[in-house]
Amino acid sequence: MRVLIIIRDFFSIGGAENFAREFTVNLKKKNVEVKVITSRNSLFKKREKFFNNIKIIQLYSPKKRIIGTIIYCFSLFLYLIFHCREYDIIQSFFLKHSSFVSVIAGKLLKKKVFCRMECSGIFGDLNTLKKVPFSSIYLKVFKKSDGIIVLSNEMKKELESAGFKRKKIFLIPNCVDIRKFKPSENKSIVKEKLGFKDEKIIIFVGRLTKQKGIDYLLEAFKDINIPEKFLIIIGDGELKKYLVNKVEKLNIKEKVLFLGKIENVTQYLQIADVFVLPSISEGLPISLLEAMACGLPVIVSEVGGNIDIVENKINGYLIEPRNISKIKNAIEELLKDEKKMKLVSEKNRKKIEENYSYEIIIEKYLKLYLEGK
């Protein structure tokens, strides 16, 4: 089997991009021949490179938005046509331009094409698509694909409401490397190594954008009635400067640490006590799965795939978006109940092992590619 992965920003930060990288590596482990098509902003960058011995084709896409998209789409279409003998299946990410071109080329070449939807809600793929000129044409083309992969039941409902056939919608959630993301065998030693001692650590991992609702977490954190509270924020994005300024205005600078984008997220998840993700809309956050794999109790917004994986007050808390007081109360309730935290921790680790490992999810993709179901 030869699979061509198409994602415009393969090396970018973000859940979809992180998944795409891990996905290609894990597909190759199953003896699947994998190649990736992505973009590059500079003409002087190499067109071809390798990532873990996987060939990456970087098509030129200048930073100018409309012109860049047109050039990228045209180059992608030509590549798919002239290299059609090098792949059997196209797997594209996001219901955007890459998927649009992939489906058209796939139909012409009689190749299987599967598109992956990444997010639901107001920041989701379908709502973003509505802002694109001729969005109805895009939808018609996407409906001609061999299947749309969704990460949550909420995404599935959105597609059905938009007129997609149920038989062409496949629910395959995100997954996590359970060997890499796991509870620490000695939390106190790792904690001391990273410069912490008795702090009760709340952690956020994700892009610093409006979609992630970090504003509401900061407001809630300010009022938490636990003296040893501490907040770690991991990630980067357009709101970084604004959020740093907000922390200063809220007078919590000494209790908040911005780590930016880091390579080893695992060790920080292992020393944390609670994971919080107050998103306004979501797909199925990989950061949530990673936190649960590390045995963390979780507090997340009642959106997207969060609803599929978190049972309120069973293995975490589901909070309505933008509700600052409920975020605060949930954090306090968990941090003040060690017994409950331990029980939730064990449940979350078990849930990830049984349902969201790469071994389980990759098999679902392979079955879809082979059987179309």
Does residue 202 fall inside a structural domain? yes
The pTM (predicted TM-score) of the whole model is 0.92
* 202: Cβ contacts below 8 Å, ≥ 6 apart: 221, 229, 230, 231, 232, 272, 273, 274, 275, 276, 331
pLDDT for the residue numbered 56 = 97
Q: Identify the bridge partners of residue 301 per DSSP, sorted by sequence position.
A: 319
Element (H, E) at 141: helix 135-142
Does residue 180 fall inside a structural domain? no
Residue 303 has pLDDT above 80, yes or no: yes
Claim to verify: residue 18 and residue 142 sit in the same structural domain: yes
Claim to verify: residue 7 and residue 137 sit in the same structural domain: yes
Residue 268 has pLDDT above 70, yes or no: yes
Does residue 100 fall inside a structural domain? yes
Share of the chain above pLDDT 70, in %: 100
Domains identified in the chain, total number: 2
**Distance, CA of 185 to CA of 278 (rounded, Å):** 29
User: CATH number for the domain including 251?
Assistant: 3.40.50.2000
Report CA-CA distances (Å) from 114 to 23, 25, 144, 149, 172. Answer: 14, 18, 10, 7, 12
Does residue 49 fall inside a structural domain? yes
Query: Rounded mean pLDDT of 284-288?
Result: 95
Claim to verify: residue 227 and residue 151 sit in the same structural domain: no
Claim to verify: residue 294 and residue 347 sit in the same structural domain: yes
Residue 127 has pLDDT above 80, yes or no: yes
Claim to verify: residue 327 and residue 363 sit in the same structural domain: no
**Residue 232 in contact with residue 213, Cβ under 8 Å?**
no
Decide the pairing of beta strands 274-277 and 112-116: unpaired
Residue that is written with structure tokens 């797909």 in the block: 283
The per-residue pLDDT of the chain, averaged, comes to 94
Element (H, E) at 222: helix 214-222
**Residue 344 in contact with residue 315, Cβ under 8 Å?**
yes
Claim to verify: residue 170 and residue 223 sit in the same structural domain: no
Q: Which amino acid is at 252?
A: I
**Distance, CA of 138 to CA of 92 (rounded, Å):** 14
Which of 126-140, 243-257, 272-286 is predicted least confidently? 126-140
Q: How far is CA 217 from the centre of its chain?
A: 19
Residue 372 has pLDDT above 80, yes or no: no
pLDDT for the residue numbered 371 = 87
Claim to verify: residue 208 and residue 313 sit in the same structural domain: yes
Residue 363 has pLDDT above 70, yes or no: yes
* 97: Cβ contacts below 8 Å, ≥ 6 apart: 8, 69, 72, 73
Claim to verify: residue 100 and residue 213 sit in the same structural domain: no
pLDDT for the residue numbered 43 = 85
For residue 373, name the pLDDT band (cuts at 50, 70, 90): low
Does residue 181 fall inside a structural domain? no
Claim to verify: residue 238 and residue 119 sit in the same structural domain: no
Range of the structural domain that residue 303 is part of: 187-355
Claim to verify: residue 99 and residue 78 sit in the same structural domain: yes
Query: Rounded mean pLDDT of 191-216?
Result: 94
Which strands make up the sheet holding 147-150, listed edge to edge?
48-51, 54-60, 33-40, 2-6, 89-93, 112-116, 147-150, 169-171
